[in-house]
């Protein structure tokens, strides 16, 4: 059976996890957290990076940082994971959903301005499949209306837009290290990327339960105390140790995934001439990270038949998000701005094929051949 996903594992993680376990310092912000922070600060050239237990909590930190309050409005695509919305709903915000582009499945930047009201506080672009949104346009709109931009780059580590790493273009950004992502910190994990230095001090306070503990350990204050809103947003150093083992092999993992993606694309490209599927679109200004390989079939019925056919041939495939605006909570906490021309329709056509570090090239070739076989 070719499974849909396996958590990335390089064997490099073992030594560091054991070292963290034996260090006498397993709680947050130990030596491995420091090493991870240094890696991201240098690799991303960001003002500051802060590890979190998961990406959901990184988004929650971002919502607190930009002072989301009840009745504020936050613009985002409906085609995303529930955490993107929940982080802001928890602060009392109303979510304004905008339709996606048919080509990249990202928020349609041309529709954002129409969704802005006097209550709008932020725009949250989601870089689907590690392919960048049209960030120049989005940042231009944000500047015009004095809005914050928080990049949900959960799937975007190692991908770029015009040479800039995803997550480093908006005011704040987030990555996920869940086991389904390209890199993991042991099943869960995330990081908040701070690009505007004005957010650094408060972010550290929010992350440390609302205390100025980080300043205390740097010798900047003689004692620490409760100074602001906050919660416990530090992952254990064991999580950081696992992640650091993968960061040392980040380019190896990325290269392997890109090779798999290219092989899928090469084998399936002839089906374009039959006009039975569509393949992923990668705009010229984007460098993707092979987070996933998906195809778009004719309709929901065809997708169901193809999923079953793949399973009959020992292959597990998967579809993706059910649009948030069609859900019970989505209707309660948000509304769709304009027409749903593509969000629902495209979500019902999309099918993801197996993609993970450790999937062998010949296995990807077999999956692609079975898809071709389905279409005769």
Q: What is the 3-state secondary structure (H, E, C) of 241-257?
A: HHHHHHHCCHHHHHHHH
**Residue numbers of the chain with a pLDDT score lower than 70:** 216, 218-219, 222-223
Rounded to the nearest 5°, which phi and psi values hold at 365? -65, -40
For 338-357, the pLDDT digits (tens) are 999 999 999 999 999 999 99
Look up residue 66 and give its two tokens.
């930009």
Residues in a beta bridge with 260: none
Check if 13-247 and 250-374 are the same fold.
no
Q: Are strands 94-98 and 160-161 parallel, antiparallel or unpaired?
A: unpaired
pTM value is: 0.96
CATH architecture group of domain 13-247? 3-Layer(aba) Sandwich (3.40)
Q: What pLDDT, on a 0 to 100 scale, did the predictor assign at position 224?
A: 82
Residue 40 contacts residue 49 (beta carbons within 8 Å): yes
Side-chain half-sphere CA neighbours of 304 within 13 A: 4
Domain ranges of the chain: 13-247, 250-374
At the top level of CATH, the class of 250-374 is alpha beta
At 223 the pLDDT is: 67
Backbone angles phi, psi at 187, to 5 degrees: 110, -40
Residues in the chain: 376
CB 41 within 8 A of CB 197: no
Segment 98-102 long-range contacts (CB within 8 Å, at least 24 positions apart): 98/336, 98/337, 98/338, 99/336, 99/338, 99/339, 99/340, 99/341, 99/342, 99/343, 100/128, 100/342, 100/343, 100/346, 101/342, 102/342, 102/346
* pLDDT computed for residue 212 by the predictor: 86
Q: Is 217 helix (H, G, I), strand (E, B) or coil?
A: helix
Yes or no: say if 211 and 224 are a contact pair by the CB < 8 Å rule.
yes
Q: What is the pLDDT of residue 287?
A: 98
Beta strands 334-336 and 120-123, pairing class: unpaired
């Amino acid at each position: 059976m070719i499974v849909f996903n396996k958590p990335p594992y390089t064997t490099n993680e073992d030594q560091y996890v054991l070292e963290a376990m034996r260090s006498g310092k397993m709680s947050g912000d130990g030596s491995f957290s420091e090493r991870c922070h240094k890696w991201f600060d240098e690799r991303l050239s960001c003002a500051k990076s802060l590890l979190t237990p998961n990406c959901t909590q990184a988004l929650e930190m971002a919502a607190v940082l930009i002072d989301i309050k009840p009745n504020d409005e936050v613009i985002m695509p409906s085609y995303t994971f529930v955490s993107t919305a929940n982080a802001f709903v928890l602060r009392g915000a109303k979510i304004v959903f905008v339709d996606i582009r048919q080509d990249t499945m990202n928020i349609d930047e041309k529709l954002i301005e129409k969704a802005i009201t006097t209550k709008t506080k932020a725009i949250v672009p989601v870089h689907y499949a590690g392919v960048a949104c049209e960030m120049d346009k989005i940042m231009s709109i944000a500047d015009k209306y004095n809005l914050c931009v928080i990049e949900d780059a959960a799937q975007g580590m190692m991908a770029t837009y015009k040479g800039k790493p995803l997550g480093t273009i908006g005011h704040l950004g987030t990555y996920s290290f869940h086991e389904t992502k390209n890199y993991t910190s042991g099943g869960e994990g995330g990081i908040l990327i701070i690009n505007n230095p004005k957010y650094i001090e408060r972010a550290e306070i929010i992350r440390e339960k609302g205390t100025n503990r980080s300043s205390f350990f740097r010798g900047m204050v003689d004692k620490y105390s409760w100074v602001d809103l906050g919660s416990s947003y530090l992952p254990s150093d064991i999580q950081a140790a696992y992640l650091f083992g993968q960061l040392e092999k980040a380019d190896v993992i990325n290269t392997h995934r890109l090779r798999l993606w290219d092989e899928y694309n090469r084998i399936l490209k002839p089906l374009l001439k039959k006009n039975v599927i569509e393949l992923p679109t990668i705009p010229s200004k984007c460098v993707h990270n092979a987070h996933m390989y998906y195809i778009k079939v004719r309709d929901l019925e065809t997708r169901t038949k193809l999923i079953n056919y793949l399973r009959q041939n020992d292959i597990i495939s998967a579809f993706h998000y059910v649009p948030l605006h069609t859900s019970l909570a989505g209707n309660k906490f948000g509304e769709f701005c304009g027409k749903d021309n593509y969000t629902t329709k495209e979500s019902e056509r999309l099918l993801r094929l197996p993609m993970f570090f450790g999937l062998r090239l010949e296995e990807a070739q077999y999956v692609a051949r079975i898809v071709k076989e389905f279409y005769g």
